[in-house]
C-alpha cells in the first residue's frame, strides 16, 4: 500500500498541474500522507505548505450544519425566522431541515444573480444576497420532494443562527466545531478578495498559463471556511476518534436522511453520501474561481482523503486516485468496444422543462448536457449508460433518465425540428423584474440578461430544436456557472413569438413575456 500511495502522490503535481496543492491521507486516525507542493502565491513566491490557509468553499456546508445541530437538536426551531427572509414567497416556505438537505425548492441565488444581469466579477455582498433571496416568489419544486444544490440554503442557516443566538457566525463555528476538533487556524474567510496569509487562487491551464483569479463575493455558511491542510487533518482525526459516539458531530450530520416520499436521499446536512470501489462514503467538494478541494471519509475502512488545489484541477479525481491507492483498487475505464447508442440527440425533461442533449464523447462514453455541467456517462451492456449518479435507459416507451440523488425518474421527450431565428426581441420576467434581450446580428442570434445587478454579456445562442435554444453561461459569480440556460419559446395563435420559459438545473421554470419586436444589432 505504501508503494501505491507513494506512486499516486508523485503523479499528482503533473496529473493535476497547477501552481500548488496539498493532500492528506489518513487511516485509523493516523496520517499516512501529509504532502504539499508548489506555490500558494506564485508571484510572491510563497510556498504551499500544510499550514497554508486555503478556501475550502462548499466544504463549509457540513461545518454550518454541525454548528446548527450542536445548537438546536431540532432544526425546526429556526423555521419561524426563515419566513422573514422570504417575504414575497407565495407558497408554503421550506423548513430549516429542507435547507440543510438541499431539498428547499429555492432557486440558487448565484444563478438567479446572472438573470439579474450581474457581471461575472461584480461585488456580491450582504445587500445583493438579501435582495435576491427576498425577491423569491415561487419555488421550482415542492420542499422535500427533490434535491437541488442551492448555496443560499446554507447562507440562510448561518444568518438564522446569528439571529437566534446574537453571536457572529465566525464565533459559533469556533466554539462549536473548530475548538472541539482542534482546527487551530481555521477561520471564517467571508471576503473572497484575499486570504490573510497571501494565498492566491489561479485561473488558467498549464498550457495557456495561469493568472490570479478575481473574486468579489461575500459568503458565510455556504462557503466561507478558510482552513489549512493541518486543520483538515484535525477534522478527519476528530471524525475517526468520535466514530463510536452516538452524539458525535460527524455522526449527527452523516446520519441517513430521506425525501418526503421515504426514498433515501444521498445528500443531507451539508454532506454527500456516495459509493466508490464498492464502499459507502461521505464527503463534499468545494470550488471558487481559482480554488478546488475535496474531502471523503470511508467509515468501513476508517480512511480519509483531503485534496486542496489553488487552481482548477479535478480535486475529486485526485481524491479518487489516492483512495484507490490506499484501498488497493483500480479506477474503472469505459468499454471502448461498445458502439454509440441510437438514441443520441436532443430531448426535453418534462418536469424541469430543461433540455437534455446527449452526444458521443469518446469510445465507450457519451456526454449528457442537462445539469449545471456536462456529465460523462459510460456505456454499459444492454444499451444503457451511467456514471453512478445518472443513468440513461431505453425502454419500450422511450428513453428514461434516472437521477436517484434528486429523487427523479422521468421519460425524456424527444425534441425534433430546427430552431427558427425569428425569436428576437425583449422579454420580461415579472417574478424577477428582469429582462432577456435576444438580438439578431449578421444572421446569428445572441442573448443576454439584465436587471438590478447590471447588464450581462451577450452570448451566442445555440439552436437545439423547434423553438428551443441554449444560452451559454460559461462564467458566473461562482466557480461552477449555471451552465446552459434552456430557452423554450412560446408562440401565439398567429405563430408569433409571445414568451419564453428560461431555466437551468439551479433555477428552473421562470416565465418571460415578450415586450417588443426584434431590433437588429
Q: For the chain, what is the radius of gyration of the CA atoms?
A: 23
119 pLDDT higher than 60: yes
The Cα 78–Cα 179 span in angstroms is 24
Give tens-digit pLDDT for 444-479: 999 999 999 999 999 999 999 999 999 999 989 987
Specify whether the CB–CB gap between 59 and 293 falls below 8 A: yes
**pLDDT mean over 195-222:** 95
The Cα 381–Cα 54 span in angstroms is 43
Which residue stretches of 205-332 are H helix?
229-241, 249-253, 315-327
Give tens-digit pLDDT for 79-118: 999 999 999 999 999 999 999 999 999 999 999 999 999 9
The CATH code of the domain at 425-516 is: 2.40.128.50
Q: Where are the beta strands (DSSP E) in 132-268?
A: 187-188, 202-205, 209-212, 225-227, 257-258, 264-265, 267-268
Residue 521, pLDDT score: 54
Residue 285 — φ and ψ, nearest 5°?
A: -110, 170
CB burial class (10 A; 0-12, 13-18, 19+) of residue 169? buried
**pLDDT mean over 146-169:** 97
**Nearest CA-CA partner of 133 in 76, 84, 193:** 84
Across-strand partners of 437?
A: 426, 448
- pTM for this predicted structure: 0.96
Report the alpha-carbon angle 89-93-99, nearest 5.
Answer: 120
Q: What is the mean pLDDT of the chain?
A: 96
The Cα 349–Cα 361 span in angstroms is 21
**Does 425-516 match 345-414 at the fold level?**
yes
Across-strand partners of 276?
A: 279
Residue 382, pLDDT score: 86
The Cα 355–Cα 370 span in angstroms is 6
Q: Where are the beta strands (DSSP E) in 51-175?
A: 54-57
The Cα 358–Cα 381 span in angstroms is 18
The Cα 448–Cα 450 span in angstroms is 7
**Nearest CA-CA partner of 239 in 71, 53, 28, 22:** 28
Predicted confidence band at 247 (pLDDT cuts at 50, 70, 90)? very high
Residue 85, pLDDT score: 97
Predicted confidence band at 518 (pLDDT cuts at 50, 70, 90)? low
Residue 394, pLDDT score: 96
Residue 519, pLDDT score: 59
Domain 2-70+167-327: give its CATH superfamily. Answer: DD-peptidase/beta-lactamase superfamily (3.40.710.10)
Q: What is the phi-psi region of residue 57: left when phi exceeds 0, alpha when psi lies from -120 to 50, beta otherwise?
A: left
Residue 63, pLDDT score: 98
Active site residues: 58, 61
**Least confident residue range of 16-20, 129-133, 198-202, 372-376:** 372-376
Specify whether the CB–CB gap between 506 and 150 falls below 8 A: yes
Specify whether the CB–CB gap between 352 and 503 falls below 8 A: yes
Tell me whether strands 202-205 and 46-47 are parallel, antiparallel or unpaired.
unpaired
Predicted confidence band at 516 (pLDDT cuts at 50, 70, 90)? confident
Residue 414, pLDDT score: 98
Please list, residue by residue across 61-87, b when 16 or more beta carbons sit within 10 angstroms of its beta carbon and e when fewer do: bbbbbbbbbbbbeebeebbeebeebbe
Going from the C-alpha of 413 to that of each of 185, 356, 375, 438, the distances in angstroms are 52, 9, 19, 26
**pLDDT mean over 408-412:** 97
H/E element, 313:
none
* Helix-strand-coil split of the chain, %, nearest 5: 25, 35, 40
Specify whether the CB–CB gap between 73 and 63 falls below 8 A: no
Domain spanning 345-414: CATH 3.20.20.70 = no
Per-residue 3-state assignment (H helix, E strand, C coil) for 215-236: CCEECCCCCCEEECHHHHHHHH
**pLDDT mean over 247-264:** 97
Going from the C-alpha of 295 to that of each of 4, 249, 287, 362, 518, the distances in angstroms are 20, 16, 12, 29, 49
Residue 480, pLDDT score: 81
User: Looking up cell 447562507, which residue turns up?
Assistant: 155
The Cα 366–Cα 382 span in angstroms is 15
**Nearest CA-CA partner of 108 in 480, 410, 458:** 480
At 142, list the grid cell: 415542492
At 458, list the grid cell: 451577450
At 126, list the grid cell: 450582504
**Nearest CA-CA partner of 512 in 494, 485, 472, 483:** 485
The percentage of the chain sitting over the pLDDT mark of 70, rounded to a whole number, equals 99
205 pLDDT higher than 80: yes
Give tens-digit pLDDT for 282-341: 999 999 999 999 999 999 999 999 999 999 999 999 999 999 999 999 988 899 999 999
Residue 151, pLDDT score: 96
Q: What are the extents of the domains in the chain? A: 2-70+167-327, 345-414, 425-516
At 5, list the grid cell: 500511495
Amino acid at each position: 500500500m505504501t508503494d501505491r500511495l507513494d506512486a499516486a502522490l508523485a503523479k499528482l503535481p503533473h496529473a493535476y498541474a497547477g501552481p500548488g496543492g496539498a493532500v492528506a491521507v489518513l487511516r485509523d486516525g493516523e496520517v499516512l500522507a501529509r504532502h504539499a507542493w508548489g506555490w500558494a502565491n506564485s508571484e510572491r513566491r510563497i510556498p504551499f505548505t500544510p499550514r497554508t490557509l486555503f478556501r475550502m468553499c462548499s466544504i463549509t456546508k457540513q461545518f454550518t450544519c454541525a454548528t446548527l445541530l450542536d445548537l438546536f437538536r431540532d432544526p425546526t426551531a429556526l423555521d419561524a425566522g426563515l419566513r422573514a427572509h422570504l417575504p414575497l414567497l407565495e407558497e408554503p416556505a421550506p423548513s430549516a431541515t429542507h435547507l440543510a438537505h438541499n431539498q428547499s425548492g429555492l432557486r440558487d441565488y448565484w444563478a438567479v444573480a446572472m438573470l439579474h444581469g450581474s457581471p461575472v466579477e461584480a461585488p456580491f455582498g450582504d445587500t445583493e444576497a438579501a435582495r435576491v433571496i427576498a425577491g423569491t416568489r415561487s419555488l421550482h419544486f415542492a420542499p422535500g420532494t427533490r434535491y437541488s444544490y442551492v448555496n443560499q440554503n446554507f447562507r440562510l442557516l448561518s444568518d438564522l443562527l446569528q439571529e437566534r443566538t446574537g453571536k457572529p457566525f465566525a464565533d459559533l463555528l469556533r466554539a462549536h466545531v473548530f475548538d472541539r476538533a482542534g482546527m487551530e487556524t481555521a477561520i471564517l474567510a467571508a471576503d473572497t478578495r484575499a486570504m490573510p496569509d497571501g494565498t492566491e487562487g489561479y485561473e488558467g491551464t498549464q498550457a495557456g498559463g495561469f493568472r490570479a483569479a478575481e473574486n468579489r463575493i461575500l459568503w458565510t455558511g455556504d462557503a466561507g471556511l478558510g482552513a489549512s491542510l493541518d486543520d483538515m487533518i484535525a477534522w478527519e482525526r476528530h471524525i475517526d476518534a468520535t466514530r463510536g459516539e452516538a452524539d458525535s458531530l460527524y455522526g449527527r450530520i452523516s446520519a441517513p436522511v430521506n425525501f418526503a416520499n421515504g426514498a433515501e436521499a444521498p445528500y443531507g446536512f451539508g454532506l454527500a453520501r456516495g459509493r466508490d470501489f464498492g464502499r459507502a462514503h461521505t464527503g463534499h467538494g468545494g470550488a471558487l474561481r481559482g480554488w478546488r478541494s475535496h474531502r471523503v471519509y470511508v467509515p468501513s475502512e476508517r480512511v480519509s482523503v483531503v485534496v486542496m488545489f489553488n487552481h482548477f484541477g479535478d480535486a475529486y479525481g485526485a481524491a479518487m486516485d489516492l483512495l484507490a491507492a490506499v484501498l488497493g483498487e483500480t479506477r474503472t475505464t469505459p468499454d471502448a468496444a461498445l458502439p454509440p447508442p441510437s438514441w443520441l440527440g436532443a430531448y426535453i425533461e418534462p418536469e424541469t422543462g430543461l433540455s437534455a442533449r446527449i452526444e458521443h464523447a469518446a469510445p465507450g462514453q457519451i456526454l449528457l448536457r442537462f445539469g449545471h455541467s456536462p456529465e460523462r456517462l459510460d456505456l454499459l451492456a444492454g444499451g444503457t449508460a451511467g456514471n453512478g449518479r445518472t443513468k440513461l435507459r431505453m425502454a419500450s416507451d422511450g428513453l428514461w433518465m434516472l437521477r436517484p440523488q434528486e429523487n427523479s425518474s422521468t421519460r425524456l421527450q424527444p425534441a425534433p425540428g430546427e430552431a427558427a431565428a425569428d425569436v428576437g426581441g425583449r422579454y420580461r420576467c415579472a417574478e424577477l423584474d428582469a429582462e432577456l434581450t435576444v438580438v439578431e446580428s449578421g444572421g446569428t442570434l445572441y442573448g443576454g440578461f439584465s436587471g438590478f445587478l447590471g447588464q450581462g454579456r451577450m452570448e451566442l445562442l445555440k439552436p437545439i430544436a423547434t423553438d428551443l435554444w441554449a444560452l451559454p453561461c460559461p462564467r458566473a459569480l461562482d466557480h461552477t456557472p449555471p451552465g446552459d440556460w434552456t430557452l423554450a419559446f412560446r408562440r401565439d395563435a398567429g405563430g408569433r413569438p409571445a414568451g419564453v420559459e428560461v431555466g437551468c438545473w439551479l433555477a428552473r421554470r421562470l416565465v418571460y413575456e415578450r415586450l417588443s419586436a426584434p431590433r437588429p444589432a
